[in-house]
Copies of this chain bind each other. A is one copy, B any other.
């Protein structure tokens, strides 16, 4: 039969990250080696597998089948004070007026925001470039995306104000180690962005998956949420990067007036969250020295970022531009004018079996011509990084000859 599927769903396509990964792995021979710099996964050695096992055992002992029954739509109540403590360890982020709803990672929180705030044709302001799963999600909800230029210290304020003047459902930002650019918004800009949001009555959706993965550079910069006297900031966090993505445990923190609507959404969309991961994350937050844990993970990532950066310096054509990141999971590189990242990445995946993601889809409007590509350094091993970057190096020379 012919299926009359919604236009928005028909237009949505499989993410370029999946497509490029699939391409690098397609019909891989038994002796061929593939290296994936494509996804945003944590290092395997950063995942506390033994703790998850220990806590699962202990919690099943203590709670039995209760842990395997339905969770509430809002989430597991003992998890809330732990998240509050976690958020507030460096200052007041979640205020007394704020409350939480637990989501399947921040992905579901992004979709819940889109679903709650976007009516078909509504404007949604985003940094350019930005996280493509978020823009896909907003598009699916019917948004017209309004891209705003990003400078080296975060979103351009004049451009943001111009965009806000015309109204929008919300402004979506990743202030720490933006994906894919790794740009961090300065404190001055965070305050200014908050001021603009209040002035124009436009909610901010603050997405902070990478904020705790800083390994060098400036000290801690507080989230925009920490200035939020008006309840205009919707803050999303996730335990995907600091515990494990497979927990599918994230949260939306917002004014307690508005949280009940998201609880209704959770009931409608998936009948609530998974108890297992909420119980395990609660135990993790209670038992583990979080600062020491984060320091350990950041140490792993710093080493990998350093290896990748040094190797790129050594093997890449000098015309490729990139900088050493101060945190997060990505290096954002640029081929010289006229070289096409899409072609480069397709050739890398098909011929070299190295998956790197072309930058086009991270830009709103997906420019046909784009020299940017994104490399993930957190998931591959040190050895994969050394091998993969050398392979890519020879290919950069081909694309930089002009």
Q: Which residue numbers of A lie inside 8 Å of B, CB to CB?
A: 1, 3-6, 9-10, 12-15, 18, 39, 41-42, 44-45, 47, 49, 52-53, 56-57, 60, 64-71, 73, 104-105, 107-108, 111, 115-119, 133, 136-137, 140, 169, 201, 203, 230-232, 240, 244-248, 255, 257-258, 260-261, 263-265, 267-271, 273-277
CB-CB < 8 A to A47: which residues of B? Answer: 65, 68-69
Given A44-B64, A244-B69, A264-B12, also A5-B117 (CB < 8 A): yes
25 interchain pairs, CB-CB under 8 A: A1-B255, A3-B203, A3-B261, A5-B116, A6-B115, A6-B116, A13-B264, A44-B64, A44-B69, A47-B69, A49-B68, A52-B68, A53-B57, A53-B60, A57-B57, A68-B244, A68-B246, A70-B240, A105-B270, A108-B270, A136-B267, A137-B268, A246-B275, A248-B271, A248-B273
CB distance from A244 to the nearest CB of B (A): 4
Beyond A6-B119, A70-B245, 17 extra complex contacts between A and B, CB < 8 Å: A1-B231, A3-B258, A5-B258, A5-B261, A12-B265, A14-B263, A14-B267, A68-B244, A70-B240, A104-B271, A107-B269, A107-B271, A111-B270, A133-B268, A136-B268, A269-B269, A270-B270
| Bound-state Cα–Cα, A127 to B57, Å | 43
| Bound-state Cα–Cα, A108 to B270, Å | 4
CB-CB < 8 A to A44: which residues of B? Answer: 64-66, 69
Please pick, from B4, B247, B248, the residue contacting A117 in the complex, using a CB distance under 8 A.
B4
CB-CB < 8 A to A231: which residues of B? Answer: 1
| Bound-state Cα–Cα, A15 to B14, Å | 34
Is B41 within 8 A of A70, CB to CB? yes
Please pick, from B68, B118, B269, the residue contacting A108 in the complex, using a CB distance under 8 A.
B269
| Bound-state Cα–Cα, A49 to B136, Å | 38
CB distance from A101 to the nearest CB of B (A): 13
CB-CB < 8 A to A275: which residues of B? Answer: 246
Is A261 within 8 A of B9, CB to CB? yes
CB-CB < 8 A to A4: which residues of B? Answer: 117, 169
CB-CB < 8 A to A258: which residues of B? Answer: 3, 5
CB-CB < 8 A to A230: which residues of B? Answer: 1
CB-CB < 8 A to A136: which residues of B? Answer: 267-268
